[in-house]
Structures are given as C-alpha cells and as structure tokens.
Amino acid sequence: MADRSSDQEAGLAGFRRYTWWSLTGTTTFVLVVLLGRRVLATDLPAWALVACLVALAATTVAGVVLLDRRLAGAPSASPPLGWVLAGGGAAAVLGAILLVAGEGAWAVAPAALVTVVATFLPLRLRWVLLAVAAAALAALGGIAGSAGPDGWPAAVLLPPTLLAITAVTLLGMLWGWEVAARLEQARRQSAELAVADERLRFAADLHDIQGHHLQVIALKSELAARLAAADPARAAEQMREVRRLAVEALDDTRAVVQGYRRTALGDEIANATRVLAAADIDARMRVDDGADADRLPEAGRHLLGLVMREATTNVLRHSRARRAEVDYRVDAGLARLRMGNDGAVDDPEASPGGGLQMLAERLAAAGGRLTWERDGDRFEVAASLPLDAGAGAEAG
C-alpha cells in the first residue's frame, strides 16, 4: 500500500511538473518568440522598440510568476497584487504601442495576462472577466482599425479571437491539472475513511468481546468471594471458571487483532444460558432448530451472535432481572432474534461505550434492523436480518 501511494504521489508530482512546463512554456513561447518577432519586425522608433521589449520581458516574467503561484496554491487563492499590477501595466503599454503602430497582434500580451489572472478566479467570475476583456479588446480594435485597409470587422474580431484561443489553451491545461488534483484528494479521503472504518470495526469487536468477558468475570469473581467462607469448593470452581474466561478473552482479543474472529449465534445462546443461570436469572430459551434456521450464512450468524452477546452483557450490567427470555426463529425469509428481561434499571445506551447503537448501524448496513425498548421494568432487544442479505453482513 505504501509503495502504491508513493507511486501515485510521484505520478501527481510529475503531472504537476508537466502542467507547469506546459503553461509557462506556452506563455513564454507565444510572448517571446511569436510576439517578440512581430515587435522586432515592426518599424518603430528606437525609444518605442526599447519600451516594447522591456514591457514584453516584464509581461512574460509576471505571467510565469503568476502561473507558478497558481499551480502551487488552491483554486481560489488570491493572486499576488504586485505581480498583477506589474504584468498588467506592462501588457497595457506593449499593447498600446503596437495598437498605435497598426500591428494586428497588439492584443496578444493583454490577452495572455487577462487569461493568467482569470485562472485565480472562481468559474463564474472567470468567465465574466474574459467576457468583459473580450468586449474591451473588440472595442479598442474597432476604434483603432476603422480607418485601416481591412476595415473594422477584422479589427473587431481578431482581438477577442486571440483572447479566446489563449484562454482555451491555458485554461484547458489548468483544468486537466485541477481534475488530477481533485482525484488525488478524493483518493486520500477514501483512504482516510477506510482507516477510520477499520478503527471503528476494531473498536466495536473489542467492545463486544472484552465488555462481555469482563462483565462475566466480575460477576463470577463476586460470587466466588461470597462463597469463599461458606463453600470453598464452589468458590474454587468459580475461580477456575474465571481463569477459563480470562484465557478465552485473551484468545478472542488476539483473534480480533488477526482479523478472523467470528462469533457463532448458537454458541452465544448456549453461553448466555450458563452465564444467566450463574447470576440466578431464570433464562428460558426458545430456539428454532428447523431446516430454515441453517439458511442464514456464517456472516449473518456472526452478526446476530454479537447482538446476543451484547444483550446478555446488558442484562448483567444494567438490570436486576429474575427472568429472561430468548427467542430465535426464521420466519418469512427473516432471521429474528429477541431477548427480554423483567428487571431493567438503567438504559444501556446511556452508559459510555453502549454497543446497541453500533450494532444497529451494522445490521442496517447488512439490510437488517435492531430495535430496543423499555416499558417500566421490562427491557427488550429485537433483531431481524434477511436470509438473502446475510451473506453481506460482514461485521466490519
């Protein structure tokens, strides 16, 4: 993954260099080579020629600096005002001298600077600036060229055409770079979301495992402490069970880290029976053992097993129940699991780290549903999962 990310970053950096050289190279070529040759070929006084060459150099440098700042910053970054004024003034001087001299390419420098400045603007303002600049160039060309041999149509149409060609060329190159940069940003965000999802999955699995095991260990340790004086043999038996649960918790935690931990629904129902009985809770289990009960895929059984474990943990942690009922059946294409007790004291979701909400989101992602409600002392958790969606019920 690290090598692939490095390759993508290197590719983006290479594309940025390509875009930089394309933009600055095209701008420099048009201004220095094409327009510079026209300036040198024009019959201008010495002072005007020197002024044109200085203005051409200033326009070129300002354009390159502005393009460099644009590629290095965000699309909405503000252009450096000093370079905008310097480049704009130089382009205006160069354009004015060539316009008075009757040179048809007088609009090249102003068109280039206007396009470079437009790259810093949002899309709507960008097109507004280009439209205003095109109208202004057309008006100036019409005024200065109305007495020329080609008449005003050519003088009016050529300047905005030069602006349009320049804008399409430069903005097209910049658009390609912006698309690549947005794709790279989306890739990074996707990678960050994947990491966040994996962290949430790990946290949920760790909560499901450690919360349940620690609650049962605490319960059995308390029972062993009460039996230590009256019945040492039973107390020792409970402590051996505590040791077994601790080892099981360690194994399950390692399995979560290695990514292959699976909670079986049948095992969790059997475990709930033993744990609730150890807590002096009368647990009544009604489990559908028909052929349809085996149709739920492993991933679905794992998800419902997590619900069973969380519901059992909540009975031990948040209730003073004397009786609990568990009902699992398959009906009308749905695997249905329900667990209720008669001694609700606290709302499980009011405690830090409550897991029902996380499990509800995971069932919803698999096409199922998890609900819970409290009515006086009675608290009930109900989960349902379509059999045909169970294959997509990967818990994380």
DSSP state of 29: I
pLDDT score recorded for residue 7: 42
- Amino acid 194: pLDDT: 62
Structure tokens that stand for 25 in this block: 């190279």
Burial (CB < 10 A; 0-12, 13-18, 19+), residue 237, is middle
pLDDT for residue 4: 43
CATH class of 197-392: alpha beta
pTM: 0.51
**Matching residue, tokens 């880290």:** 257
> Are 210 and 253 a contacting pair, CB within 8 Å?
yes
Q: Where in the chain is the domain with CATH 3.30.565.10?
A: 197-392
Residue 106: exposure state from Cβ atoms within 10 A (0-12, 13-18, ≥19): buried
The count of C-alpha atoms lying within 13 angstroms of the C-alpha of 35, restricted to the half-sphere facing its C-beta, is 29
- The answer to whether 339 and 381 are in contact (CB under 8 A) is yes
Please report, for residues 99, 100, 313, the alpha-carbon distance to residue 153 in angstroms, rounded to integers and kept in the order given.
16, 18, 86
Q: In which residue ranges of the chain is pLDDT below 50?
A: 1-8, 146-148, 260, 291, 350-353, 390-396
**Separation CA 44–CA 97 (nearest Å):** 9
